[in-house]
Structure 1
Amino acid sequence: MNILTTGMGWIDHKPGGLNRYFADYSQAMTEAGHELRALVTADGDRPTAPAYVEAVPGSGDGTGTWDRMRAFRRAIGRGGQSWIPDVYNPHFALYASLVNRGRLPRDIPIVTHFHGPWAEESMVEDKGASTARLLRYRMKKSVESLAYRRSDRFIVLSRHFAEILKRDYGIPEERIVRIPGAVDALRFRPAESVRQVRAELGIGEGQRVLFCVRRLVRRMGIDRLIQAMAAVSAEHPEALLVIAGDGSMRSELESLASRLGLAGKVVFTGRLSNELLVKWFQAADCSVVPTVTLEGFGLVTVESLACGTPVLGTPNGGTREILEAFEPSLLFDDESAEAMARTIKRWLAGDARLPSRENCRKHVLERYTWSEVAGRVTEVFEATLEARRRRSAR
């Protein structure tokens, strides 16, 4: 099957959950025997990108929103007659909104991966409702609605995002298919020697490491986790919170940790290479996912579990769905700093046991593999293509 797919940016230049999913998903679909033409923005060098990944001319850094939208529209129109897609599979509404039926043959279905409410995420992260922000929100919501009106089917990674599609965008339930995300289990795997990896990372003997990798933006709840660490550290000085990632809140979060007297107890690493990310997952005693809202799947949750490291998380969205099916006690009571502190202190005091590394890994291999995802997505594509062709033949 020929699949035309559009994402955001290439993962090695622009880290993030959507870009990681898009890169691994595209590879899995190719390994399943499909021919892909995958379009992403032309930001920076992409020496690691496979041959099927194309940088869209005129969509790089500094390009305005509408110019990027038009650039993707032109790129899709340049497909020519030598390679005709069987399905169009966008992963980001902005770059799909100007792709109307005039750009695609009538019998080609559009199956959209819905990775979250773009407009709502922006509003939450902006933390405010000024006139300018409200106008941006309305523009983004209009762009999303325009793209989704043309879609035949939708794929979501969690029940939470299926509900948002139905409630906020009016998409009928019968057009939504839930296929959870997956993890590259060859890259994210347990260390042969945890002790050796911890030594390489400079982790001291007796330290209990909590690892959190997130974009440092409002909805990720990092500020609440840092506040929780103030209470944890008072009783458990051996606890160390390592925060990986970057974002608009970094300086604010660093200041918060300093004010709470957590120097040496909360460490910010910035963005990590793929190799270091895996090592921190392997070395940690547990990972923490403190997201306050709009957690669509929780890719970092399955990445950590694949490395054998248990995860404590807030009972929101995809994180809840993953952990409830594994070990419900890993969920905080709510997303407050107090709830996080209670659960972390119970674990550190030995009053609550975390799952074994073997069971963490087993849970992922049984449920979150790319071969399973590729097979289920292919079934959706084939069924939607057949339905579109029947309608086109009338």
Structure 2
Amino acid sequence: MRILQLTSDWKWTGPAEPLVHAVVGLRARGHVVDAAFPEPPAGHAGALLERAGERGVEPAHVLVRQQGFVPLRDGAEVRRLRAFLRARDHEIVHAQHARGHLLARLAARGTRARVVSSWSHGDPLPSGFWNRWLYGPRGCDGLTVLSERLAESARARLGGPRERVGVVPGVVDASRFAPRAAPESLRRELGLGPDQRVIGVVARLQPHRQVELILNALARALGQAPGLRLLVVGRGTRAREVLEEPVAKLGLGSAVVRAGYRSDDYLDTLALMDALVFLVPGSDGSCRAVLETMSMEIPTIASRRGILAETVSNGETGALCDETPESLAAAYCDLWRDPARWQARGKAARRRILEHHTIALQAERLERHYRLVIETGGER
């Protein structure tokens, strides 16, 4: 097949990494796959252009960097994209974000390209008119979601042939995110002792992330589990409000270790963790941090929000908790008392990744869905 993977966002966020994985995985299966996305503003390091380039994915078509969709403004952009679809003879254009979706839908008119969109959130598709049009049979030829639960909900709300909604779970590069031992030098740098158990937080420090709840649970657990440490990996403009002030108020002191934003040693930093605690999904509904740590044999302490209850198997690959200090503290204390059990959960987490969330499996599922969309798409 000849496929275009398209996003209208220049940032390395949300569905950006799954898009790059899709290009790599589908090319490995013998398909001709192009990518289209905007260039970042000058001086922005770590954007999609840079990260995709590190994986051998360059944009074959560069979109104009804009917000939203304005017909008068974006007419030329649609015509440029249509000319590209015709020149490359794409059969599928898989679009991310509403702007990218609309550009693809309009540009595909008069070409043989079928338009596939993604609902990349872990909650069901809202049933409002806009979403029913955008993701329904009038707005796109196919739709991918993260789980069968979400697919059944979308089919019920959108109508159309059942097969136009396909399931493509979240994806992680399991060869990169493989189990490893953390360097002792990094452990010393962060002040972590050999007998301590490390619970990790990987997230932007924003109020909705429930960091204060995680901290309250730690304060409750330390009486029974004095060697617990919370390793916070991430940054945010409201870090003082979200992290520093609650830590001071609860008197947690050295029990909370601030690693900040990590780039070059990100994998080594994850390897310090005995478990990850993750309560609130961000812009990526597949909860990429959970998939990354699971792939490294790190179990998860999670809420039941979004896709988490379908990704984390309670008692097998981690623990699903109520969003209360008592419930989280019980999981923390269990990790302290029985590390061998949690190590076994980490190994089970890695097995789950290899069975459900690899780049090769993502490509296989996308290929199958694209073929169904082409076969059932009818004439334009």
SS at match of 1:188: coil
Residues 310-344 of structure 1 deviation map (CA, whole Å, 9 limit, x = unaligned): 111112232211222x7458233312233212221
Shift of 1:5: 1.8
Equivalent position of 2:261 in the other structure? 271
Equivalent position of 1:250 in the other structure? 239
Residues 337-380 of structure 1 deviation map (CA, whole Å, 9 limit, x = unaligned): 33212221222233993142443323322222111110121011
Equivalent position of 2:379 in the other structure? 392
Q: Which amino acid aligns with 1:235?
A: Q
Residues 259-310 of structure 1 deviation map (CA, whole Å, 9 limit, x = unaligned): 222232223333321x422112212111111227998323222211211211
Structure 1: state its 5+ residue gaps.
Answer: 122-137
Whether 2:60 is the aligned partner of 1:79: answer: no
Residues 64-110 of structure 1 deviation map (CA, whole Å, 9 limit, x = unaligned): 43479938645523416431211110122232124434543354221
- Percent identity, please: 22
Equivalent position of 2:330 in the other structure? 342
Contact kept, 8 Å, 1:310 with 1:360, in 2: the verdict is: yes
Taking the aligned partners of 1:216 and 1:170, their CA distance within structure 2 comes to: 39
SS at match of 1:331: strand
Whether 2:220 is the aligned partner of 1:215: answer: no
Instruction: Within 5 Å, give how 1:1-394 maps onto structure 2.
Output: 1-9=1-9, 14-43=11-40, 44=44, 46-48=49-51, 49=53, 50-53=56-59, 56-59=62-65, 63-66=66-69, 70=74, 73=78, 75-79=80-84, 81-101=86-106, 103-105=108-110, 107-116=112-121, 142=130, 145-146=133-134, 148=136, 149-162=138-151, 165=154, 174-192=163-181, 198-199=187-188, 202-247=191-236, 249-254=238-243, 255-273=245-263, 275-291=264-280, 296-324=285-313, 327-328=315-316, 330-350=318-338, 353-356=341-344, 357-388=346-377, 391-392=378-379
Distance 1:117 1:189, change over 3 A: closer
Distance 1:218 1:172, change over 3 A: farther
SS at match of 1:203: coil
Q: Which amino acid aligns with 1:20?
A: E
Distance 1:102 1:363, change over 3 A: closer
Instruction: Provide the TM-score with structure 1 as the length reference.
Output: 0.79
Distance 1:106 1:181, change over 3 A: same
Distance 1:72 1:101, change over 3 A: closer
Shift of 1:163: 5.6
Q: Which amino acid aligns with 1:6?
A: L
SS at match of 1:110: strand
Distance 1:236 1:355, change over 3 A: closer
Q: Which moved more, 1:182-191 or 1:1-10?
A: 1-10
Instruction: Provide the TM-score with structure 2 as the length reference.
Output: 0.81
Contact kept, 8 Å, 1:295 with 1:318, in 2: the verdict is: no
Distance 1:293 1:83, change over 3 A: closer
Taking the aligned partners of 2:159 and 2:145, their CA distance within structure 1 comes to: 15
Give RMSD over aligned pairs.
3.5
Contact kept, 8 Å, 2:6 with 2:100, in 1: the verdict is: yes
Shift of 1:170: 6.6
Contact kept, 8 Å, 1:243 with 1:268, in 2: the verdict is: yes
Taking the aligned partners of 2:14 and 2:366, their CA distance within structure 1 comes to: 19
Distance 1:259 1:217, change over 3 A: same
Distance 1:252 1:166, change over 3 A: farther
Count of residue pairs the alignment pairs up? 365
Contact kept, 8 Å, 1:211 with 1:241, in 2: the verdict is: yes
Contact kept, 8 Å, 2:164 with 2:373, in 1: the verdict is: no
Structure 2: state its 5+ residue gaps.
Answer: none
Contact kept, 8 Å, 1:92 with 1:115, in 2: the verdict is: no
Contact kept, 8 Å, 2:81 with 2:107, in 1: the verdict is: no
Taking the aligned partners of 1:95 and 1:118, their CA distance within structure 2 comes to: 21
Distance 1:104 1:223, change over 3 A: farther
Residues 18-44 of structure 1 deviation map (CA, whole Å, 9 limit, x = unaligned): 222222222222222222222223213
Distance 1:57 1:95, change over 3 A: closer
Taking the aligned partners of 2:124 and 2:150, their CA distance within structure 1 comes to: 14
Taking the aligned partners of 2:118 and 2:153, their CA distance within structure 1 comes to: 13
Shift of 1:194: 6.3
Q: Which moved more, 1:373-382 or 1:49-58?
A: 49-58
